[in-house]
Amino acid sequence: MNYPVWQLGIPGGLLIAFIAVIHVFVSHFAVGGGAYLVLTERKAYRENDAALLSYVREHSKFFALLTVVFGAVTGVGIWITIGLVSPEATSSLIHTFVWGWAIEWVFFFVEIAAILIYAYNWDTLDKATHLKIGWIYFVAAWMSLAIINGILTYMLTPGTWLETKQFWDGFFNPTYWPSLVLRTLFAMALAGVFGLFTATDLDGAVREKTVRWAGRWLLIGMVLTPLAGIWYAAKLPAFAKQYFLELTSPQHTVRMVLACTTVAAVLALLAMIRPQWWRRPVLTLALLASFAALAGGEYLREFSRKPFAIANYIYANDVRVASVNEIADSGGMLKHAKWLREANGSLVDYGHQVYAMQCSNCHSISGYRALRTRVRGWDPQFAAAIVPSLHLTRGPMPEFAGDKQDAAALGTYLATLAPMTITIQSGNEAESGQEVFEMRCAMCHSIHGRMRPLSLAGGDVDAIVTMTNMLPDVNPQMPPFTGNDSERHALAVWLSAQK
Amino acid sequence: MNPLPIPAADPMPLPAPVWLLKSLLLLTFFLHVLFMSGMLGGAVVAVTSAIRGETDKKFAMLARRVVGILPVLMASTITLGVAALLFVQVLYGQMLYASSILMGVAWFALIPIVIVGYYGFYWASNKSSLRGLGLGVLLVFVVGLIFTNNMTLMLAPERWRAMYSAGAAGLHLNFDELSLVPRYLHMMLGSVAMGGLLVVILGLREKKIEVRAWLLRQGSLWFVVATAANIVVGFWFLMTLRSEVRDLFMGRSKVATALMIAGMLLPIGAIVHLVLGLSGKKADRQAMAGIGAAVLTVALMVGMRDIVRTGYLNPVFRAGEMAVSSQWGVIGLFFLLFVGGLVTLGWMVRKVAAASQQKA
């Protein structure tokens, strides 16, 4: 409401996810890979293995080039992107945690300096100093993870911060420790994957040795990560746990993540037992599996937080939870939305602006989380009535922040997206009744299952028809039934026939 | 409806007093500009030297040396820029987020542009590729232009509503701003001058007398020509400022006027020192004095830039009026760790310097 909305045509949340996932992939490698570098270097000294040492030298240059440029710049890129997509939430995070970020920045500059010195001074520094600088790098890199982890987990589980507004209450929040352990373990797995990446094309005996060694990192990381995941899941807020019980999308993602973790672990085992089989196709599969596991994990974390950007404080559409009632009760968006364009008299245009401000961070019109499929058949009256109850529908939705006029405008706009009329076939009322149900009831109700089941099986058709005439009286949050009489009848016939 | 769509202040108070946040903003931005200008100007010097180096070995040597340090300068520029970006957000987030969104496409494009430009410098440095260098320079100039656009657009809320009504896809830039072009040129020419100083520094570290003298001459030449041109551009910039802000520098504010005068005299002093160093004795001392005067000029310019920002925003937004609730415990921890980080950094750099000296 405070800021303009960047209307690019794709949901901003998707843009953040895109930048964030590639950053997280590289930055976790940057953490785990630090330990991998020094421990491999130490191993090479202890075993007096020149070939292994030469491998870790080359690996360190690849490491620096990838993490210092791509890792660091995409990290800043997340900042830039969240500022563009969720300025209200970003501003709140910055006001709350600017000193957390400042501390992270200290570790960041130590980290950058250390890795550049480490990677480019193999010949100048003595072994002990070189190893020390490697350790400095690793500690600084891990610490920057430990700091940003506090801010990131706060967004999902702000804990007692919501009452106290104290820095450390938000920082050491309920998911801080499980998330830190989870990320550290995954960082270890990624160190293994990237170790395998540079080891695959080696020649001679060092190849098998390095593949075995890196494989061990991948295996340990991939086996332990799911255990930390269980700990993390146990600390999720109740509303998030509910999603995993009710919604198919997180359920499928959990399965996908577990499958990918298993694939990566099995490949790691292969690397250790049969290093000679480790070739580029296997490497590619391991990289893809790790990336998919990470992307899935990040998706689950983001999904768990819906409908919030900061749980119970700011919604994902950048509206503050505390301001919803004020906006609804005193003047609506006309008064509160600073960036409303001059109304040109068209309700649809006004409704489109409401869509941009309250829906477009998560929903596109026809692409990602498309509205067109979600509002199929909605008419203006029905849409205007259901908009204020959207947070009660299936899936995680924020409360609508607007008054009746705003809801009417949004409803009018939504009704233009996918208008549809159902033609009732006289011989086949039951089938048409199902269509009516899908269009007019299914966003809130199911027949069986958890979502407000309608058990009207065997009910009197005429009684059901009568009931459709008084839905808002049954429950003021229900929209009126806006279909015609033959639709009513078909729906009643179908509902009555369900078992 | 609010005539100017300026976002309301964040309900969370500032977590530190404004003076502290402002000091850190100015300090980190000053350091950022030093490295940025060395990197950008150095890259310009390197490109022209590399081209001349095809026929003249000395220039090829100069290009090689500068290119070799570009990645480290870039890393420092970004690292320090991150800190400045953090503090500018906490003080001016309301203005900055709004303007960023209006030019969202260009602002977002910073990410790939910086990545590709950065790799261009690595490409140039590892494979001595002129193409990589050219790409890096070009993209860094674009980055500067995007920043100048946003740093001026965040000061111009009177343009925002019309822009947003014309299109919400984030395709705007701020070229309607009269001071944009001279401001950008002022920054870029200043960077070229600092690139010259980088060559002077390379010269001071050189042991072979002949090469040393040549490097000092080349570097000074770049600095002198760029700075002389920049004095003219600086006046142009001053003339395009909004009149009530320009007046601050022309007598209305003592501090601003003093900075303005010092900001004109110091670079002239730097020029004099560098030229004297070329022709007379005590070349080293003269060069050092020139460098000192130039670095001090950058600090003054950073201060003047802040006066311009505060002056432009003064009618609509004052950072000093925001609520403050300082997180002293965390601030203390930050300074403790900051000192620790500097000590660690110093230790590492000393170790490398000592080891390289031993090798040599």
Instruction: List per-residue pLDDT tens for chain A, 499 residues long.
Output: 899 999 998 899 899 999 999 999 999 999 999 999 999 999 999 999 999 999 999 999 999 999 999 999 999 999 999 999 999 999 999 999 999 999 999 999 999 999 999 999 999 999 999 999 999 999 999 999 999 999 999 999 999 999 999 999 999 999 999 999 999 999 999 999 999 999 999 998 999 999 999 999 999 999 999 999 999 999 999 999 999 988 899 999 999 999 999 999 999 999 999 999 999 999 999 999 999 999 999 999 999 999 999 999 999 999 999 999 999 999 999 899 999 887 677 899 999 999 999 999 999 999 999 999 999 999 999 999 999 998 988 778 999 999 999 999 999 999 999 998 888 877 778 788 888 998 888 888 888 877 788 888 888 989 999 999 889 888 888 999 999 898 999 999 999 988 7
Q: Contact, B70 vs B136, CB < 8 A?
A: yes
What CA–CA distance (Å, rounded) separates A73 from A55? 26
Chain center to CA of B46 = 18
Q: Which residue in A has a C-alpha nearest to residue B335's C-alpha?
A: A103
Q: Contact, B66 vs B45, CB < 8 A?
A: yes
What CA–CA distance (Å, rounded) separates A87 from B90? 12
Q: Do residues B162 and B44 both lie within one domain?
A: yes
What CA–CA distance (Å, rounded) separates B99 from B170? 9
Q: Do residues B31 and B172 both lie within one domain?
A: yes
- pLDDT at position B340 over 50: yes
Q: What is residue B292's predicted lDDT score, i.e. its pLDDT?
A: 97
Mutate to test the interface with B, among A18, A110, A122 (most CBs of B within 10 A): A110
What CA–CA distance (Å, rounded) separates A335 from A328? 10
Q: Chain A partners of B322 at a C-beta cutoff of 8 Å?
A: none
Q: Which helix (H) or strand (E) holds A68?
A: none
Q: Domain for residue B112, yes or no?
A: yes
Mutate to test the interface with B, among A85, A106, A117 (most CBs of B within 10 A): A106
Helix count (H) and strand count (E) of chain A? 22, 2
Contact state of A167 with B15 under an 8 Å Cβ cutoff: yes
Q: Domain for residue B190, yes or no?
A: no
> Among residues A55, A73, A2, A66, which one has the least CA distance to residue A29?
A66
Would you call A358 helix, strand, or coil by DSSP?
helix
A and B: number of Cβ contacts within 8 A: 202
Q: Domain for residue B51, yes or no?
A: yes
Other Cβ atoms closer than 10 A to A381: 15
Contact state of A7 with B89 under an 8 Å Cβ cutoff: no
Residues paired with residue A314 on neighbouring β-strands, in sequence order:
A310, A320
- pLDDT at position B1 over 70: no
Q: Chain A partners of B14 at a C-beta cutoff of 8 Å?
A: 95
CATH of A12-315, picked from 1.20.1630, 2.60.120, 1.25.40, 1.10.3470, is 1.20.1630
User: Which residues, in sequence order, are CB contacts of B135 under 8 Å at separation 6+?
Assistant: B116, B117, B120, B123
In tens, the pLDDT along A283-337 reads 999 999 999 999 999 999 999 999 999 999 999 999 999 999 999 999 999 899 9
Q: Residue type for B268, please? A: I
B 168-187 → A contacts, CB under 8 A: 168-170
What CA–CA distance (Å, rounded) separates A201 from A29? 20
Q: Domain for residue B160, yes or no?
A: yes
Q: Domain for residue B191, yes or no?
A: no
What CA–CA distance (Å, rounded) separates A15 from B281? 60
Q: Do residues B231 and B288 both lie within one domain?
A: yes
B 113-132 → A contacts, CB under 8 A: 114-115, 118-119, 122
Mutate to test the interface with A, among B334, B338, B350, B356 (most CBs of A within 10 A): B334
Q: Which residue in B has a C-alpha nearest to residue A131's C-alpha?
A: B348
Q: Residue type for A283, please? A: L
Q: Do residues B169 and B268 both lie within one domain?
A: no
Q: Contact, A43 vs A49, CB < 8 A?
A: yes
User: Which residues, in sequence order, are CB contacts of A66 under 8 Å at separation 6+?
Assistant: A26, A29, A30
According to DSSP, residue A67 is labeled I
In tens, the pLDDT along A385-444 reads 999 998 988 778 999 999 999 999 999 999 999 998 888 877 778 788 888 998 888 888
> Among residues B275, B176, B193, B273, which one has the least CA distance to residue B234?
B193
What CA–CA distance (Å, rounded) separates B202 from B46? 13
Q: Which two tokens stand for residue A460?
A: 């009197």
Q: What is residue A343's predicted lDDT score, i.e. its pLDDT?
A: 63
Other Cβ atoms closer than 10 A to B359: 9
Q: Chain A partners of B160 at a C-beta cutoff of 8 Å?
A: 4
| Sign, CA torsion B270/B272/B273/B275 | positive
Q: Distance from A224 to chain B by nearest Cα, in Å?
A: 32
Q: What angle do CA B53, B59, B60 make, to 5 degrees?
A: 55
Q: Chain B partners of A126 at a C-beta cutoff of 8 Å?
A: 355
Q: Which two tokens stand for residue A183?
A: 């990320």
Q: Which domain holds residue B277?
A: 196-315
Q: Distance from A158 to chain B by nearest Cα, in Å?
A: 15
Would you call A123 helix, strand, or coil by DSSP?
coil
What CA–CA distance (Å, rounded) separates B72 from B193? 19
Q: What is residue A30's predicted lDDT score, i.e. its pLDDT?
A: 97
Q: Do residues B123 and B208 both lie within one domain?
A: no
- Among the partner-chain residues B8, B89, B102, the one whose CB lies closest to the CB of A4 is B102
Contact state of B10 with A6 under an 8 Å Cβ cutoff: no
Q: Do residues B63 and B149 both lie within one domain?
A: yes
What CA–CA distance (Å, rounded) separates B247 from A251? 65
Q: Domain for residue B354, yes or no?
A: no
What CA–CA distance (Å, rounded) separates A413 from A54? 64
Helix count (H) and strand count (E) of chain B? 11, 0
Contact state of A8 with B105 under an 8 Å Cβ cutoff: yes
DSSP result, A262-304: HHHHHHHHHHHH-GGG--HHHHHHHHHHHHHHHHHHHHHHHHH
The answer to whether B9 faces chain A, any CB pair under 8 Å, is no
Q: Do residues B143 and B258 both lie within one domain?
A: no
- pLDDT at position B354 over 70: yes
Give me the half-sphere count of Cα atoms (radius 13 Å) on the Cβ side of residue B299: 10
Contact state of A133 with B351 under an 8 Å Cβ cutoff: yes
Q: Chain A partners of B27 at a C-beta cutoff of 8 Å?
A: none
Q: Do residues B166 and B203 both lie within one domain?
A: no
What CA–CA distance (Å, rounded) separates A189 from A32? 8
Burial class from Cβ neighbours inside 10 Å (0-12, 13-18, 19+) for residue A8 reads buried
Q: Chain B partners of A65 at a C-beta cutoff of 8 Å?
A: 122
Residue in the structure block whose two tokens are 């990566």: A264
C-alpha torsion B262→B265→B268→B270, nearest 10: -40
Q: Which residue in B has a C-alpha nearest to residue A341's C-alpha?
A: B165
Q: Distance from B318 to chain A by nearest Cα, in Å?
A: 16
Q: Chain A partners of B351 at a C-beta cutoff of 8 Å?
A: 125, 129, 133
CATH of A321-415, picked from 1.10.1200, 1.20.120, 3.30.1360, 1.10.760, is 1.10.760
Q: Domain for residue B286, yes or no?
A: yes
Q: What is residue A287's predicted lDDT score, i.e. its pLDDT?
A: 97
Indicate left, alpha or beta for B172 from its phi (over 0: left) and psi (-120 to 50: alpha): beta
Q: Distance of CA A263 to CAs A218, A297, B44, Å?
A: 11, 15, 50
Q: Do residues B150 and B228 both lie within one domain?
A: no
What CA–CA distance (Å, rounded) separates A45 from B139? 42
What CA–CA distance (Å, rounded) separates B101 from B282? 53
The answer to whether B108 faces chain A, any CB pair under 8 Å, is yes
Parse chain A into domains and list their residue ranges.
12-315, 321-415, 429-497
User: Which residues, in sequence order, are CB contacts of A105 under 8 Å at separation 6+?
Assistant: B79, B82, B83, B86
Q: Which two tokens stand for residue A318?
A: 């950048």
Q: What is residue B89's predicted lDDT score, i.e. its pLDDT?
A: 96
Contact state of A81 with B108 under an 8 Å Cβ cutoff: yes
Q: Which two tokens stand for residue B329?
A: 């415990």
Chain center to CA of A398 = 16
The answer to whether B251 faces chain A, any CB pair under 8 Å, is no
Number of structural domains (chain B) is 2
Other Cβ atoms closer than 10 A to A438: 13
- Among the partner-chain residues A8, A109, A114, the one whose CB lies closest to the CB of B169 is A8
CATH topology for the A429-497 domain: Cytochrome Bc1 Complex; Chain D, domain 2 (1.10.760)
Q: Which two tokens stand for residue A411?
A: 């409803």
Q: Which residue in B has a C-alpha nearest to residue A143's C-alpha?
A: B337
- Among the partner-chain residues A2, A80, A113, the one whose CB lies closest to the CB of B8 is A2
Q: Do residues B119 and B173 both lie within one domain?
A: yes
Other Cβ atoms closer than 10 A to A125: 21
Q: Which two tokens stand for residue B351?
A: 């170790």
Residue in the structure block whose two tokens are 């311009």: B308
Q: Do residues B231 and B302 both lie within one domain?
A: yes
Q: Domain for residue B62, yes or no?
A: yes
Q: Distance from B284 to chain A by nearest Cα, in Å?
A: 29
Q: What is residue A452's predicted lDDT score, i.e. its pLDDT?
A: 84
Q: Which residue in B has a C-alpha nearest to residue A85's C-alpha?
A: B101
The answer to whether B14 faces chain A, any CB pair under 8 Å, is yes
What CA–CA distance (Å, rounded) separates A137 from A108? 10
What CA–CA distance (Å, rounded) separates A203 from B315? 69
Q: Residue type for A6, please? A: W
Q: Which two tokens stand for residue A163?
A: 């009452």
Furthest-apart CA atoms within chain B: distance in Å: 70
Q: Which residue in B has a C-alpha nearest to residue A86's C-alpha?
A: B97
Two domains, one topology: A12-315 and A429-497: no
Q: Chain B partners of A19 at a C-beta cutoff of 8 Å?
A: 111
Contact state of A80 with B108 under an 8 Å Cβ cutoff: yes
Q: Which residue in B has a C-alpha nearest to residue A115's C-alpha?
A: B348
Instruction: Tell me the mean pLDDT in the region B282-305.
Output: 95
Q: Where are the alpha helices (DSSP H) in A65-126?
A: 72-85, 87-120
Q: Contact, B70 vs B125, CB < 8 A?
A: yes
| b/e map B25-54, b = 16+ CB within 10 Å | bbbbbbbbbbbbbbbbbbbbbbbebbeebe
Q: Is the ipTM of this complex over 0.85?
A: yes
Burial class from Cβ neighbours inside 10 Å (0-12, 13-18, 19+) for residue B257 reads middle
Average pLDDT, chain B: 95
Q: Do residues B39 and B170 both lie within one domain?
A: yes
The answer to whether B331 faces chain A, any CB pair under 8 Å, is yes
Q: Distance from A270 to chain B by nearest Cα, in Å?
A: 35
Q: Which two tokens stand for residue A359?
A: 């829906």
